[in-house]
Structure 1
Amino acid sequence: MNTKQDNIIRTDYAEIMQKSYIDYAMSVIISRALPDVRDGLKPVQRRTLYDMYELGIRYDRPYRKCARIVGDTMGKYHPHGDSSIYDALVVMAQEFKKGRTLVDGHGNFGSIEGDGAAAMRYTEARLEKLTQEVFLEDLDKNVVDFMPNFDETEKEPVVLPVRIPNILVNGADGIAVGMATSIPPHNLGEVVDAVKAYMKNNDISTRGLMRYLKGPDFPTGGIVVNKDDLVKIYESGTGKLRIRGRVEIEKLKGGRQQLVITEIPYTMIGANIGKFLNDIATLVETKKTTDIVDISNQSSKEGIRIVLELKRDADVENLTNMLYKKTRLEDTFGVNMLAVADGRPETLGLKQIIAHHVDFVFEVNSRKYTTLLAKEQEKREIQEGLIKACDVIDLIIEILRGSKSRDQVKKCLTDGITEGIKFKTKTSEKAAKTLKFTEKQAAAILDMRLYKLIGLEIDALMKEHEETMKNIAAYEDILNNYDSMAAVIMGELDQIKKEYGSKRKTSIENAEEAVYEEKKMEETEVSFLMDRFGYMRLIDKNAYERNKDAAHAESRYVFTCMNTDKICIFTDTGKLHTVKAEDIPLVRFRDKGVPADNLGNYDSTSEQILYVAPLSQVEASTVLFVTENGMCKLVKGEEFRASKRTIVSTKLAEDDRLVFVGAADEMDQVVFQSEKGYFLRILKTEISVTKKNALGVRGMKLTGEDRIHHAYLLESRQEYAIEYHDKPYVLNKVKLAKRDTKGVKPRV
């Protein structure tokens, strides 16, 4: 007896999770994120281009709405959401991202400065001529395999029959599971020359190929400045390119000059242009340079033009080097030439990519000319049948007249069966029995029209037959001779280069490391102010003296420091964040300043500031730490000297946090206040001086759910009062006791 329990498969949960995740990862790697080395396209790109081809949206026909293209692609081939398809379509139309655009966009397809494309219902597109002629031609000649789509109602190509190494021409980028690809674009003409060089000599080295393919050619231009590293990068398929923008010097009236950035690094496209302008503005605001008078972005459809107006006698070379070092005007492009080859992801060098492409092109052409040869052989068979029929046309007419059905005539033409056919003479019947036309020839004869018997038509048939025989000979030569096939492929490559080639945009050279002399900051005394919202600012010392009362009334922390100092920010999580004083804006007294979050690693959403002081003062003092659970310790300030922007200032128990941090050198007593209203006053000498990574000692004994609310440092000769239950309470009057006791609760 079968039960439902018989169908239960017992297996380990970890095993199922592992298998499921591996399946998911491979799906992302092969079917979504990585390009195929043969056509250089990801599945979404391939499907979009094929759908446009199927819809007949050719380069010489009207544009069609992108929404139609996206919807059709999603419904037939790519069921992963419309945004992924439209994003892929937009990128294929953006000339600042691709070496050669594959889609001709009409409408707002975004800008180099990071503006997004308009919604798909507004934009239109069609195939580029290059895409149609180089990527999609010959699909009707059985050159690539087709596979069922996701619901097996349509067929889609496994790969497109691309005749150039598109993975090099347009590059690729994508993030899969556990791996990523980043391939720079290259110049089409140089790529074609490199492919031809490989075809002529399969043993050519990577260095040999690079005599033709000089290096990356970014659509944004720029300068690759590490030429000597390129051979190693192209041999291994991984490495880093250093790219610089192109800077020109223009002279103005009055002996002044301006720097004009006419080309940017490829990595700067998008929002990074705005960040670049902000970085320059920050350099000016923080007085890192005083040579720049004005910044303007004059970029347009004609190209990039960022103008930096300089003051008279500016050190142009030093300023240019500073821009290379301190901004993204010089940037790195990480190369990782990872692609799907033979069904699996593989990091490929330049020669391997070209080798894969050449093998693919030979396979495509072999299938193409096999298909063409079969068609020509079929034409030859029919033509020979028609020529032979012209010689015995009288007999064929006699057979037609004497037959009762088409099948009777066909059997007579193919097998010489004359039963049931009336002939005028025995001679005709005897001749009919010798006929041996093929099935296709017989069908062609029966479909032949009478006007084909005109002399001129017969001559045309003979010439057509001669042409067919020439084609057959040519196709057989191509299929049977490597050199002939190679000559055809190279001829096509030459034609592609002639029609679609363009001049190189990116320069390749070796440049020295950008070195600039940073002007030493003039050391001056400034006043630091931080309000209760965490906004920091520096003001001139004279401005502070004029507004001293307002500064202390409106600010939580006020102190004087040198502009070369660092500011220490201690928080309740036990972290110490340091900010260079020179990074804090020097402003007028009434200006707001900037949040501490913007200048360091401090996070106002998860941390609370307990103490702020200049590093020079902290280093010269001893710092008291008190935690919510009653732990306390003293730490020498020199322990907080560190190069990192954020360090751990004290060790905390898992469920503990700081409630007080302060400089304790000039104080001799400590008062603890608990949440339940207990006060404990002890001598500072009872608290141990420890390292910052120690937990410390217990300062106050807490009962039940009680916690330390605050701590106070006192100088015994000075009276210190706080407000407690809306009344003043003098802390010096709290009974002096020993550490680790409960303390007293004042009467209210």
Structure 2
Amino acid sequence: METKQENVIATDYADVMQKSYIDYAMSVIISRALPDVRDGLKPVQRRTLYDMYELGIRYDRPYRKCARIVGDTMGKYHPHGDSSIYEALVVMAQDFKKGKILVDGHGNFGSIEGDGAAAMRYTEARLEKLTQEVFLADLDKNVVDFMPNFDETEKEPVVLPVKVPNLLVNGADGIAVGMATSIPPHNLGEVVDAVKAYIKNNDISVKGLMRYLKGPDFPTGGLVVNKDDLLNIYETGSGKLRLRGKVEVEKLKGGRQQLVITEIPYTMIGANIGKFLNDVASLVETKKTTDIVDISNQSSKEGIRIVLELKRDADVENLTNMLYKKTRLEDTFGVNMLAVANGRPETLSLKQIIEHHVDFVFEVTTRKYKTLLGKELEKKEIQEGLIKACDVIDLIIEILRGSKNREQVKKCLVEGITEGIKFKSKASEKAAKNLKFTENQATAILEMRLYRLIGLEIEALQAEYDQTMKNIASYEDILNNYDSMSNVIIEELDGIKKEYGTKRRTVIENAEEAVYEEKKMEETEVCFLMDRFGYMRVIDRNAYERNKEAAHAENKFVFTCMNTDKICIFTDMGRMHSIKVVDIPLVRFRDKGTPVDNLSNYDSTQEQILYVVPVGQVKLSSLLFVTKTSMCKLVAGSEFDVSKRTIASTKLGEEDALIFVGPADEMEQIVFQSQGGYFLRILKNDVSAMKKTSVGVRGMKLAEGDVLEHAYLIEPRQEYTITYHDKPYSLNKVKLAKRDTKGTKPRI
């Protein structure tokens, strides 16, 4: 048996990976994530719309289940999963995302507040009239190229013959490999005017185009407040838009007012509306503002309506500026006008987008009128044949009656061959030999019905012929004359603007940056409490005085501080977390409080709290740090007055941990206690003062395998007693020795 020889190709693994990744990246860029500059559609959108067109789901016909559309699209054109097709279909039907919706959805297609669409088995859809007449018209006239689908069983259009720059009208967003596109939607009427201006003057500048296209027009309305930046954005194809929501002031009874947000920035749609409400609530809770009494979201199908009820004498302008500054009521929209042009991704200016589209429209129009001209020339040939036949109809009838078969008649009509045909006279035969009809004319004559010989029908045929000749002259003029073709395109654009144009929704203006005066907090003394479970709270000073005994009995850390202060939390991992007192809830004495994890980067699963102190107190003293490997140092408290939420409070060696942090200014001696039962008492002055970034010096010489368990700061004139082996033991009795010595074991 003959064995098949394997053909092994040795190659470098890095080369294979590089080529494979480049192929993948290009596939994502060209065939998935980026729109084509000509029709402004991604492949999944184009295929879905074409499939609906093929299924006959037109705007004037009944809706069809989305599951049918998705299944058909996936089976014929887009074999990449049903979810991507359905998501594309849903977005094309959402009027709060698109400048002009392309799909007419029936059922739950999601909401502006981020609710998802219902499952595709419940929803129905059909094409919008705009889509059918502006995106899919003339597909039967050979206006675009078709290519085989993934399994070469169907044909799909390479691009749809869209008559307006959809890339501008509906915008685009997509993340490819190493690049992303983000194009805002624009007003259809303004886009049409800009295209007409370019057709009339190809040398027009971006600034000239912007006399017609003022800027983005978002379906959510709102304001673009950096008008002066737009020229640069449209010239370079990238930049940042500053968007604001529309805020109105309504007066209520009793001299009170309320702020009503009726339009939101485009970037706020979805879950960001909920986040905005939470941010406003947070401003109230943290007392950044006291002007807001109540917040309610009264939005409905009629539109957005978020109401902020204000207290009397509220500073409306200052509060509005605070909302712009502290919430997403003012946001940025990053513009990056990236699209596939001539088969490659390219960042395009406004003029380049219009230029590419106009070139495409001229190409589509040329192909359309060539097809129409071809059909009219065919009609002309037939009509001329029938008119000529009517003039010699008696001779043709004589040929038909004298012939034996169809072929004989046809040869006589086309070539004048009369052999085998019986004529009534020699004159008829001679006339028959002079006949010179074309093949198509002869076929039409043979298929002509007798009623066409009626006088009126012959007149109608002549009228049709005259119209055909007019059409041919018109089509030839359009094809051969740039101005004529331009007029046809402009006329079409005017019709689209008249039927589908709408008023601008987004206001374009220049606005100064929002500036607000933060009201200074009234400085008061409060009491901080943290229990052994890490729950912390702030209570009023008077409440603390009334419950002082219970406060100290039930909590691990208790101290008074100012409400403008910060709290420093030192942990065994050598980290310090800082929390503003104002961020800690001010509650009643018996309320539970908030876990420290919620207000800082502290992780209760990995670290333990050793010491908590207000920054106002710590920066005036020095702190003693002691680790389990007996490294110790004194650090000036001022090093911990920082703005960062979390810093390294000390440098730790591998597998080392802090066991003690405490204030050392009023103490004179340190006592170390090891796990092995050794105690060492030294003078505080034997320990060096160092930076927080240092490791420190060795405090006690430890036996192999031994570690420090406790450290104590003591004052020799005061008795300090601990429990050791279930018996009281005075730390003052520990022998005073030098640093870095072994220490002694107590005799108990």
TM over 0.5, shorter chain: yes
- Structure 1 pair 741–55 and aligned structure 2 pair: CA distance change class (3 A): farther
Question: Partner amino acid for 1:61?
Answer: R
Q: In structure 2, how many angstroms separate the alpha carbons of the residues matched to 1:249 and 1:78?
A: 50
Deviation, 1:562, is 0.8
Deviates more, 1:586-595 or 1:214-223: 586-595
Residue type of the partner of 1:696?
A: G
Letter in 1 for 2:380: R
Q: CA separation of 1:629/1:204 partners in 2, compared to 1, >3 Å: closer, same or farther?
A: farther
Counterpart position of 1:642 = 642
Residues in 2 aligned to 1:344 and 1:117: alpha-carbon distance in whole angstroms: 34
Amino acid at match of 1:250: E
Distance 1:505 1:655, change over 3 A: same
Question: What residue is the counterpart of 1:312 in the other structure?
Answer: 312
Paired letter, 2:193: D
Which residues of 2 match residues 11-90 of structure 1 at below 5 A? 11-90=11-90
* Aligned twin of 1:492: 492
- Matches of 1:389 and 1:640, distance apart in 2: 107
Deviation at 1:38, TM superposition (A): 1.2
Equivalent residues in 2 for 1:528-607 (5 A)? 528-607=528-607
Q: Within 5 A, what are the aligned runs for 1:208-357?
A: 208-357=208-357
How far residue 556 of structure 1 moved from its aligned partner, in angstroms, is: 3.3
Which stretch of the first structure deviates more once superposed, 160-169 or 416-425? 416-425
Summarize the Cα distance change of 1:438–1:643 in structure 2 as closer, same or farther, 3 Å threshold. Answer: same
The corresponding residue for 1:119 is: 119
Deviation at 1:596, TM superposition (A): 3.1
- 3-state secondary structure, aligned to 1:324: helix
Residues of 2 paired with 1:416 and 1:741: CA distance? 132
Question: Aligned AA for 1:362?
Answer: F
Matches within 5 A, 1:84-483: 84-483=84-483
Cα distance in structure 1, aligned partners of 2:44 and 2:513: 41
Deviation, structure 1 residue 506: 1.0
Please report how far the alpha carbon of residue 744 of structure 1 lies from its aligned counterpart in structure 2 after TM superposition: 6.0
- Using the TM superposition, name which of 564-573 and 124-133 deviates more: 564-573
**Residues of 1 paired with 2:200 and 2:266: CA distance?**
33
Offset at residue 673 of structure 1 (A): 5.2
C-alpha deviation, 1:218, in angstroms = 1.0
Instruction: Report the alpha carbon displacement of residue 632 of structure 1 after superposing the two structures with TM.
Output: 3.2
Specify the alignment match of 1:518 in structure 2. Answer: 518
Aligned partners of 1:499 and 1:614: how far apart in 2?
A: 68
Partner Cα distance (1:549, 1:279) in 2? 38
SS in structure 2 opposite 1:7?
coil
Aligned twin of 2:665: 665
CA shift in 2, pair 1:701/1:416, >3 Å: farther
Structure 2 distance, partners of 1:436, 1:703, is 123
Aligned-residue offset at 1:383: 1.4
Distance 1:541 1:71, change over 3 A: same
Q: Distance in 2 between matches of 1:10 and 1:147?
A: 36
- Aligned residue type for 1:300: S
Question: SS in structure 1 opposite 2:50?
Answer: helix
Q: Offset at 1:705?
A: 5.9
| TM-superposed deviation, 1:702 | 5.5
1:446-499 deviation per Cα after TM superposition (whole angstroms, max 9, x unaligned): 222222222222211111111111111111111111111111111111111111
Deviations along 1:664-687, one digit per CA (max 9) or x if unpaired, are 333344455556666555443333
- In the aligned structure 1, how far is the partner of 2:99 from the partner of 2:211? 20
Taking the aligned partners of 1:449 and 1:680, their CA distance within structure 2 comes to 125
Q: 1:738 to 1:394 in 2, by over 3 A?
A: farther
Residues 174 and 673 of structure 1: CA distance in aligned 2, closer, same or farther (over 3 Å): farther
Distance 2:23 2:630 in 1: 53
Cα offset, 1:532, TM superposition? 3.8
Question: When the two structures are superposed, what TM-score results if normalisation uses the length of structure 1?
Answer: 0.94
Letter in 2 for 1:148: P
Give the 3 Å change call, closer, same or farther, for CA 611–405 of structure 1 in structure 2. farther
Give the CA deviation at 1:590: 2.8
Q: Kindly provide the amino acid, as one letter, of the partner of residue 483 in structure 1.
A: D
Q: Distance in 1 between matches of 2:631 and 2:114?
A: 52
For residue 418 of structure 1, what is the amino acid of its counterpart?
A: T
Residues 668-687 of structure 1 aligned to structure 2 (within 5 Å)? 668-672=668-672, 681-687=681-687
Alignment TM-score, normalising by the size of structure 2:
0.94
The one-letter amino acid of 1:309's match is: E
With 262-271 and 565-574 compared, the bigger mean Cα shift is at 565-574
Partner SS, residue 92 of structure 2: helix
Deviation, structure 1 residue 3: 8.7
Over residues 92-124 of structure 1, what are the superposed CA-to-partner deviations in whole Å (9 max), with x where a residue is unaligned?
Answer: 111111111111111111111111111111111
Change (3 A) 1:3 1:431: same
Unaligned runs of 5+ in 1: none
Which amino acid is 1:304 matched to? Answer: I
Deviation larger for 203-212 or 719-728: 719-728
2:151 maps to a residue whose letter is: D
Q: Distance in 2 between matches of 1:465 and 1:436?
A: 19
One-letter code of the match for 1:142?
N
CA deviation map 1:546-603 (0-9, x unaligned): 2233333443332211111112233344333322222222222233333333333444
Taking a change above 3 Å as real, the CA distance of residues 633 and 417 of structure 1, as seen in their structure-2 partners, is farther
**Alpha-carbon spacing, 1:397–1:643, altered in 2? closer, same or farther (3 Å):** same
Partners of 2:464 and 2:283 lie apart in 1 by: 77
Change beyond 3 A, Cα 1:715–1:133: farther
Bigger mean CA offset, 580-589 vs 200-209 = 580-589
User: What's the CA shift string for 1:519-557, capped at 9, x where partnerless?
Assistant: 111111111223344333221111122223333344333
Call closer, same or farther: CA 1:293–1:7 in 2, change over 3 Å: same
Change (3 A) 1:121 1:420: same
| Deviation of 1:426 (Å) | 3.5
1:644 deviates by 2.6
2:533 & 2:94 partners in 1: Cα distance?
44
Following TM superposition, by how much is the alpha carbon of 1:509 offset from its aligned partner in structure 2, in angstroms?
A: 1.1
Distance 1:360 1:75 in 2: 29
Q: Sort the Cα spacing of 1:432 and 1:536 in 2 relative to 1 into closer, same or farther, 3 A.
A: farther
Distance 2:499 2:418 in 1: 61
SS at the partner of 2:41? Answer: coil
SS in 2 for 1:144: coil
Moved more, 563-572 or 297-306: 563-572
Task: Classify the secondary structure of the residue corresponding to 2:519.
Answer: coil
CA distance, structure 2, for counterparts of residue 640 and residue 2 of structure 1: 82
Residue 620 (structure 1) aligned with residue 620 (structure 2): yes
- Displacement of 1:656 after TM fit? 4.2
